[in-house]
Amino acid sequence: MTWKMFLDDERFPDVLYDDFESVDWVIVRSFQDAKWHVLNRGLPRFISFDHDLGSHTWTGMDFAKWFCDYVMDNDLSLEGFDFHVHSQNPVGAENIKSYMTQFLKDY
């Protein structure tokens, strides 16, 4: 886990994170991009979630569920992992935050 994922269809992490230049951010614009990066790069050490991903069918919540299932199905360690939800959709943001928080607590 050496990289950070920024899942958002429009924004960039430099708007939200002071350490943008000092870390290995990967910007992904869709559920499929996020999934591809996890499958090909391994688990990120940090994910910043947006909920609404523009015209894409899948949401940030869909990716959160896929991510947790992937971790469980492959018995992967999340030691040192953290996340943030930066979505402007208050309901979607709370859903992702609650889901991820509960998963990390139980896993």
pLDDT of amino acid 12:
85
Query: Residues 31, 47, 14, 24: is their CA dihedral positive or negative?
Result: negative
How many domains would you assign to the chain? 1
Tens of pLDDT along the chain (107 residues) come to 789 999 999 998 875 556 555 567 899 999 999 999 999 999 999 999 999 998 778 999 999 999 999 999 999 999 999 999 999 999 999 999 999 999 999 99
- CATH number of 78's domain: 3.40.50
Beta strands 46-49 and 4-7: pairing type? Answer: parallel
pLDDT of amino acid 38:
98
Contacts of 81 (CB under 8 A, 6+ apart): 1, 43, 44, 45, 46, 104
pTM (2 d.p.): 0.91
Instruction: For residue 25, give the nearest of 46, 11, 8 by alpha carbon.
Output: 46
pLDDT of amino acid 54:
86
**Owning domain of residue 62:** 4-106
